[in-house]
């Protein structure tokens, strides 16, 4: 499986061989959907919190007589039925993360890569570097390449100038190879991989 390599100036720079184990798998929507749910649930903060009646500051004295008061029998004013009382069955701080086998997560990433290859939405760059870090210059280069909505994956480290130039361009995300993930791949129209990124992926899944 061959892929053409381009430079940022939209010039041909040879070709590379794509590993079929990474880019030649038939994608399954259910696996990809499970992985996206896993990622979104894991990053959910879970910091929502209300106070139950046990955490409300106040006296625990019974405020009325048990009988003869003309109303219902109550204990103290911290009950959830009174203004200023606690919340019954309210949310508590917790993790929303769900379990997913490591092998299924790895498979989902391979399927996401394969889906971009199958849709002809995969672009391979020789490198992703900028000399001066100018946003305007990088935007012109991306227009030449036909890229306006993409995830750019570089090697172990992202070029500082390239990242600086790209952060002000809408719908362009830049990540190092170790940060590649299914959700970010699927939310962008194109996937841009450098040669260094391909080498990192091969090393990761060898």
Q: What's the pLDDT tens digit per position in 57-67?
A: 999 999 899 99
Kindly state whether residues 111 and 173 are assigned to the same domain: yes
Kindly state whether residues 140 and 154 are assigned to the same domain: yes
Last residue within a domain, chosen from 90, 120, 143: 90
Is residue 13 pLDDT above 90, yes or no?
no
Last residue within a domain, chosen from 36, 66, 90: 90
Contacts 24+ apart (CB under 8 A), 156-164: 156/196, 156/200, 158/128, 159/127, 159/128, 159/129, 159/130, 160/133, 161/129, 161/130, 161/131, 161/132, 161/133, 162/128, 162/129, 162/130, 162/133, 162/138, 164/130, 164/133
So what's the pLDDT on residue 142? 95
How many Å apart are CA 204 and CA 206, to the nearest integer?
A: 6
- Residue 149's Cβ-count burial label (10 Å; 0-12, 13-18, 19+) is middle
Q: What is the pTM of this model?
A: 0.85
1 confidence band (pLDDT: 50, 70, 90): confident
So what's the pLDDT on residue 164? 95
Kindly state whether residues 54 and 41 are assigned to the same domain: no
Structural domain range at position 38:
2-45+98-205
Stretch 92-109: mean pLDDT? 96
Kindly state whether residues 156 and 186 are assigned to the same domain: yes
Kindly state whether residues 10 and 102 are assigned to the same domain: yes
Phi/psi at 153 (nearest 5 deg)?
A: -115, 125
Is residue 128 pLDDT above 90, yes or no?
yes
Domain count, the chain: 2
Q: Which has the closest alpha carbon to 162: 190, 139, 189, 179?
A: 139
Kindly state whether residues 21 and 59 are assigned to the same domain: no
Kindly state whether residues 25 and 107 are assigned to the same domain: yes
Rounded (5°) CA angle 196-151-40 = 115
Rounded (5°) CA angle 157-161-165 = 115
Last residue within a domain, chosen from 90, 121, 146: 90
Kindly state whether residues 118 and 135 are assigned to the same domain: yes
Kindly state whether residues 121 and 143 are assigned to the same domain: yes
Over the stretch 17-52, which tens digit does the pLDDT of each residue have?
999 999 999 999 999 999 999 999 999 999 999 999
For the chain, report the end-to-end CA distance as a whole number of angstroms: 17
Kindly state whether residues 111 and 157 are assigned to the same domain: yes
* Contact by Cβ (8 Å): 197, 155: yes
Stretch 160-183: mean pLDDT? 95
Kindly state whether residues 102 and 86 are assigned to the same domain: no
How many Å apart are CA 100 and CA 120, to the nearest integer?
A: 29
Kindly state whether residues 70 and 152 are assigned to the same domain: no
């Amino acid at each position: 499986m061959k892929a053409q390599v381009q430079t940022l100036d939209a010039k041909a720079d040879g070709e590379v061989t794509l590993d079929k184990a990474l880019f030649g798998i038939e994608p399954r929507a259910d696996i990809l959907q499970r992985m996206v749910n896993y990622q979104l649930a894991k990053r959910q903060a879970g910091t929502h919190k209300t106070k139950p009646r046990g955490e409300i500051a106040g006296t625990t004295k019974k405020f009325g007589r048990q009988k003869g008061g003309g109303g219902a029998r109550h204990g103290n004013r911290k009950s959830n039925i009174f203004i200023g009382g606690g919340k019954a069955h309210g949310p508590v701080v917790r993790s929303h993360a769900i379990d997913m086998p490591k092998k299924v997560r790895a498979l989902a990433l391979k399927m996401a890569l394969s889906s971009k290859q199958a849709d002809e939405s995969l672009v391979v760059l020789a490198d992703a570097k900028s000399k001066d870090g100018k946003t305007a210059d990088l935007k012109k280069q991306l227009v030449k390449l036909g890229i306006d909505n993409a995830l750019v994956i570089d090697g172990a480290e992202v070029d500082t100038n390239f990242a600086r130039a790209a952060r002000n361009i809408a719908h362009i995300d830049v990540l190092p190879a170790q940060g590649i993930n299914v959700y970010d791949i699927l939310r962008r129209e194109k996937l841009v991989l450098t040669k260094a990124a391909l080498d990192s992926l091969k090393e990761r899944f060898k």
